[in-house]
Amino acid sequence: MRNIVILISGAGSNMEAIVHASHRDQWRDKLRANVSAVISNRADAAGLQFARAQGLATAVVDHKAFSTREAFDAALASEISKFDNAQCPALVVLAGFLRILTPGFVQTFNGRLLNIHPSLLPAFPGLNTHQRALDEGCKVAGATVHMVTPALDQGAILAQAVVPVLPEDTAATLGARVLTQEHRIYPQAVAGWIRANPV
Ligand code: GRF
């Protein structure tokens, strides 16, 4: 069985979409995969409540408790590795996880670390993607699921979704439109990765 560990920092709506898809599409039986744990760097991340209500294992690794990024990442890696099993390392899914990870952490999970970014990469890596798309006069925007590499927002693209930018859009309205598409493509991309990497 492939364990899936999801890392969040906030609302966790992408995490919810993945958990729902895993039940609806019977990933446990059909893909031999299972969302096993949700880990947050913030104790007040709203998504933790949903995860607990689902009976998922949860953990908080508070970045403020560590003096270096390396020490935080080591503690996070240790928490994730509880869900590795001898036959099969866990898939690690970043879902609104708002920490930059060290190259050492990325190397540890190389090839099994996914992220979703709210732009059509390679356009607009980094922060404030929706406002930047509006400022540039983009007519479309979207989201990208990609493999995580040490270079920020630059790993291989697994899936993308495109939405129109409307004349009256604000960063908030555009972001909400993009987010609904994130909820569609992230579960699909996770399932696709699992199919391509069978146990
Ligand atoms: C999403 O827009 C995601 O692309 C970005 O942060 C947001 C997280 O939303 N990285 P949620 O926590 O999944 O609701």
Per-residue model confidence as pLDDT tens digits over 18-48: 999 999 999 999 999 999 999 999 999 999 9
Is the pLDDT at 145 greater than 90? The verdict is yes
- Quote the pLDDT of residue 199: 85
Going 119 to 92 to 36 to 46, the CA torsion angle's sign is negative
Residue 39 β-bridge partners = 7, 59
- Closest ligand 1 atom, CA of 143? 4
CA distances from 15 to 5, 19, 36, 132 (A): 10, 6, 12, 25
Reported as a single tens digit per residue, the pLDDT across 48-63 is: 999 999 999 999 999 9
Measuring from atom 8 of ligand 1, which residue has the nearest CA?
A: 96
- At position 35, the amino acid (one-letter code) is V
- Quote the pLDDT of residue 56: 98
Measuring from atom 5 of ligand 1, which residue has the nearest CA?
A: 96
Give the C-alpha separation, 64 to 165, whole Å.
37
Whole-structure pTM value: 0.97
- Closest ligand 1 atom, CA of 182? 4
Mapped onto helix, strand or coil, the DSSP state of residue 101 is: coil
Tokens describing residue 30: 């059909």
Stretch 87-109: mean pLDDT, rounded? 96
